[in-house]
Amino acid sequence: MNTTEIDLLVHYELIDRVAVLTVANPPVNALSQRVRAGLVQSVENFEKDDAADIAVIVGAGKLFIGGADIKEFGKPPQPPSLPDVILTIEACAKPVVAAIHGNALGGGLEVALGAHYRLAAASAKLGLPEVKLGLMPGAGGTQRLPRLTGVDVALSMITTGQPVVAAQALDSGLVDRVVADINDADEVRKAGIAYARELLESGATPRSVGALPQPSATQEFIDTWRSRLTRTARGEVAPLTALDAVEIATQTDITTGLAEERRLFLQLMETPQRSGLIHAFFAERSVGRLPDLDGVTPREIAHVGVIGGGTMGAGIATSALLAGFRVVLVEQDSDAGSRARATVAGYLAAAVKRGKLESTRSDTLLAESFATAIDIEALASVDLVIEAVYENLELKQSIFANLDKVMRKGAILATNTSYLDINVIAASTTRPADVIGLHYFSPAHIMKLLEIVVADATAPDVVASAMALAKRLGKTAVRAGVCDGFIGNRILARYRAAADHMVLDGASPYQIDAAIKAFGFAMGPYEVSDLAGLDIGHATRQRKAATRHARDRVPSFADALFEAGRLGQKSGSGYYVYEAGSRQGKPDSLVEDIVIASREAAGITPRQFTDEEIVRRYMAAMIDEGARVVDEGIAQRPLDIDVTFVHGYGFPRWRGGPMKYADTYGLAAVLSDIREFATTDDHFWQPAPLLERLVAEGNSFDTLNSSGKHNA
């Protein structure tokens, strides 16, 4: 055996006429410039090596090739380009096999498409996720994949960015062989060599994917896909551009198709959406990095208690069970406990139906890891308790006072409050250092966002424990400070007030919902009210009534709807009316009548609003309150707000989040909008000091993200 090492992160090894090209760029074998150069050099060496008849490309470590190197994002490209690397592989005069384990994503899969044969471990996942970064495959993915799989499968993979498992890849023709019971790099290397020898024995020759016939698709088929993507992409340009590229593959030869793909790819590189999605990508990786927790060891958590078995409590319990914790849920009586168990069982059954959980594991979790109780003493041995009763401060104080007496020393006491003062709740105990807020979003077992609310006395290791818990639960954790509503709901209250003001002044709730959805939100504010329940907003207004400023404008129409018994989806009517069993609401003229009556009672002469003004006011309120939240240290950085709103409030991911959007729109323009709106309401519209400072300095919110600091 002759071994040659190339100092370009790709190792060349010859084993009985099989050249093995191993990509070794930990942790994910990203396609850095050195890897790209190493692949080109290794393939060229293979072609020149008379002792080698076939080559196998494998990845070292846990996967094949993870895709582009994120360290090179935003930097001038260095040769060789990935398209050139893949053309070198495809044009090789001797056969090349890609042996895939772990993941082959993005450029990694495009490298595999450049090979002549593809073998995959049964556990492998293959995908082209570029649309999630506002891009599309730019190194042949849109041209080669449909030649192997057909147009429908290719479009499903490319326009969603969702990977397929090896069995699906085999069925579609994406891979030629799937090998079971192999998981690591050494095993796939052996399987790849064995497959290569089998190919040699059968007389296999190079088989270029690019030389396959162009895929076929009717115009009707393409138009159907275009209509579907226009509806589901909600303003994103990358999926539709990727469709254009795949359509080109059905019309041209590979050389022309590759050139057009590259043109469209580079076009997407310059779009604001790409910038927004890249920002979201990095923000999600930065949000959990808290320098003040460096070196802090989390407390051990294995046994979790939940107080309250309603929708939220049952969801929290389900989330903990799915993450492998033992859970005990405490309710007020046995009937309530039985209902909670049934709810948890229903959530687990739904996970089984979605293919997220094996039915046998669901049964085991319910039988061995989950218990209900009616006595708070059942929580005496748990490591963490999460209180999830309704929003009543006195009730929560009473619960925490009792927990203080029952729970063991060192246990963590968490509250799932959405608005209430955690410092006050913590003061009900003799151990405020052990108290923290864990604000889940409903449904708690599905929604990814978890606001970790740090009270004044919360110990650093309790914060570290909460961050570790979120990671184990598979959630995105955002650290927040204590105020009414923390990060998300505090900002929501502000922009929702801006929407209510527009309704009072003449806009229709339905026009506002439509304008906000056209902006890219998943739902409009009044659709969200119906989903959450109008009783929630009513209770919040009642709670704040005593401290309301004389100039605050009250959405009397919202209270009138509540008083009429219109609670939203759960009552069959709110701002919209809902047919039995449907979550799709229809506008109701009665709502318009109630709004008109509210305007008349307030002596307001209604005016017209354009959709553009609706978005400007809605976003200005969101951004301005976000600036205050950062300035006060409730959010440590603007990116914390962006992650909160992308993951918890339906903000369009492709815009990056509200603070990224503000930078894109221009902070000076935001400030100008606020000053314009203040000419008719200088009580509500008052520019945040941080916004004014950043504009005066010529800075952006993004300048605060690296350190999380700003001028006080």
Active-site amino acid positions: 110, 130
Q: Are 436 and 403 in contact (CB under 8 A)?
A: no
> Helix or strand or coil: residue 102?
coil
Per DSSP, 68 falls in state B
Length in residues, the chain? 712
Helix axes 488-505, 525-532, angle to 10 degrees: 120
Q: Terminal CA-to-CA distance of the chain, rounded, Å? A: 66
Calculate the alpha carbon distances from 450 to 126, 294, 318, 542 in Å: 29, 20, 15, 26
Q: Where are the beta strands (DSSP E) in 539-671?
A: 576-577, 586-587
Q: Give residue 638's identity as a one-letter amino acid code.
A: P
**What stretch of H or E contains 515?**
helix 509-519
Q: What is the distance between the alpha carbons of residues 422 and 432, in angstroms, rounded to a whole number?
A: 10
Asked if residue 572 lies in contact with residue 472, where contact means CB atoms within 8 angstroms, the answer is no
Residues in Cβ contact with 223 at an 8 Å cutoff, skipping those fewer than 6 apart: none
Q: H or E stretch including 365?
A: none
The answer to whether the beta carbons of residues 457 and 432 sit under 8 Å apart is: yes
d(CA 64, CA 62): 7
* Beta partners for residue 330, in sequence order: 307, 373
Distance CA 56, CA 96 (A): 6
The residue among 152, 145, 72, 148 whose CA lies nearest residue 109 is 145
Which tokens sit at 138?
A: 């730019």
Using DSSP's 3-state secondary structure scheme, residue 479 falls into strand
Cα–Cα distance measured from residue 432 to residue 424, given in angstroms and rounded to the nearest whole number: 10
List, edge to edge, every strand of the sheet that includes 18-23: 2-4, 10-15, 18-23, 54-59, 96-100, 117-121, 177-179
**DSSP secondary structure string, 652-687?**
-GGG--HHHHHHHH-HHHHHHHHHHHHTT-TTT---
